[in-house]
Amino acid sequence: MKKHDVSPKSGEQVDDSEQEVHAQKMVSLGHFTQAIVHDIRNALHVVGSASTLIERRTDDAAIHHHVNTIHKTIGRTNDLIERILSFANNSEEHLGIIDLPHSIDESIQHARPMFPAGISMEWQRPLQEMHILGDDGQIYQVILNLLKNAIEAIGRDNEGSITMNLRKVYPWAEIRVKDSGPGIDVAVIGRLLDSGFTTKPDGNGFGLANVAAIVKKHSGTIQIVSNPGEGAEFILLLPLLPELNE
Ligand SMILES: Nc1ncnc2c1ncn2[C@@H]1O[C@H](COP(=O)(O)OP(=O)(O)O)[C@@H](O)[C@H]1O
Ligand SMILES: [Mg+2]
């Protein structure tokens, strides 16, 4: 018999089949959420593109102001969507065998539109496959959050560079994300992964907490390095699947 994580209260009967039904409901909820999120994202994209077209056709300052409000609201809604998605993804167990370089390729592809013109990105990856027990959706959230933070650290209107590096440091897959931003104040470096910790006026402090939760779920570790004037570097170690990486 399987062991329950939570023991039933006195007089309550919780059996395996009930847990099975609950697990299936959570999986359905996850799929349902992803389908809706997909539609909402597409709708926001249409609204954003249409308002940009309106903006281009006029010099009217009031219209520019209102369109700016629309774009800001779309940005905030997209942030909210990321949080809903991370909840849906994390609330079910779907770790499987994935090829990490390929998973990061796709994550970067999805994150591309977010890159401002002045910030370049270099992606250094091995050519061979690197298998881990993981989840592509969660890897995407990790990469997205790290890239978003790197862009915000450099500043959307500034010039800068980000390097993403993946290599095999057996028995680990090592991901490094380094930026040319101002780096991290030593006084706060220990609090970066805390949920709700932010130094940004419009930040929410959930990004790195989410990254930490996902890395933990993948049995990995995070190290943060920041030397004065050298930007910030996030080093993630995720365990490789031994039988496929000898
Ligand atoms: N690449 C980076 N360079 C400098 N500081 C960073 C970087 N990434 C994260 N931080 C710091 O960590 C804090 C928490 O990040 P995060 O959890 O993503 O929340 P948010 O981005 O909403 O502030 C940020 O407010 C910032 O102070
Ligand atoms: Mg963030």
Ordered by where they begin, the domains of the chain are: 16-90 (1.10.287), 96-244 (3.30.565.10)
Q: What is the pLDDT of residue 163?
A: 98
**Alpha-carbon span 81 to 37, nearest angstrom:** 7
**Alpha-carbon span 95 to 103, nearest angstrom:** 13
Backbone angles phi, psi at 120, to 5 degrees: -95, 155
Shortest-distance ligand to the CA of residue 194: 1
Q: What is the pLDDT of residue 20?
A: 73
Test site for ligand 1: of 145, 208, 224, 230, most ligand atoms within 8 A of the Cβ: 208
Question: Ligand 1, atom 7: nearest CA belongs to which residue?
Answer: 149
State which amino acid sits at residue 91. Answer: S
2 CA to centre of ligand 1 in angstroms:
41
Question: Ligand 1, atom 25: nearest CA belongs to which residue?
Answer: 198
**Alpha-carbon span 58 to 50, nearest angstrom:** 13
**Alpha-carbon span 74 to 238, nearest angstrom:** 33
Distance of CA 34 to the CA centre of its chain: 15
Q: Per the structure block, which two tokens stand in for 134? A: 């993981």
Q: What is the pLDDT of residue 36?
A: 85
Q: Per the structure block, which two tokens stand in for 146? A: 């790290």
198 CA to centre of ligand 1 in angstroms:
6
State which amino acid sits at residue 76. Answer: R
Q: What is the pLDDT of residue 58?
A: 94
Digits of tens for pLDDT over the chain (246 positions)? 333 443 334 444 556 677 677 677 767 777 777 788 888 888 999 999 999 999 999 999 999 999 999 999 998 888 878 777 766 665 556 688 899 999 999 999 988 888 999 999 999 999 999 999 999 989 999 999 999 999 999 999 999 999 999 999 989 999 999 999 999 999 999 999 999 999 999 999 999 999 999 999 999 999 999 987 899 999 999 999 875 444
Shortest-distance ligand to the CA of residue 205: 1
Pocket of ligand 1 from Cβ distances under 6 Å: 145, 149-150, 153, 179, 181, 184, 192, 197-200, 203-209, 232
DSSP the chain: -PPPSSPPPTT----HHHHHHHHHHHHHHHHHHHHHHHHHHHHHHHHHHHHHHHHHT---HHHHHHHHHHHHHHHHHHHHHHHHHHHHHHTS---EEEEHHHHHHHHHHHHGGG--TTEEEEEE--SS--EEEE-HHHHHHHHHHHHHHHHHHH-TTS-EEEEEEEEEETTEEEEEEEE-S----TTTGGGTTSTT---STT--S-HHHHHHHHHHHTT-EEEEE--TTS--EEEEEEEB-GGG--
For the entire predicted model, the pTM comes to: 0.70
Question: Ligand 1, atom 10: nearest CA belongs to which residue?
Answer: 149
Shortest-distance ligand to the CA of residue 160: 1
- Strand 221-225 relative to strand 233-239: parallel, antiparallel, unpaired? antiparallel
Test site for ligand 1: of 147, 148, 149, 194, most ligand atoms within 8 A of the Cβ: 149
Q: Per the structure block, which two tokens stand in for 40? A: 């909402």
Test site for ligand 1: of 188, 198, 206, most ligand atoms within 8 A of the Cβ: 198
**Alpha-carbon span 53 to 55, nearest angstrom:** 5
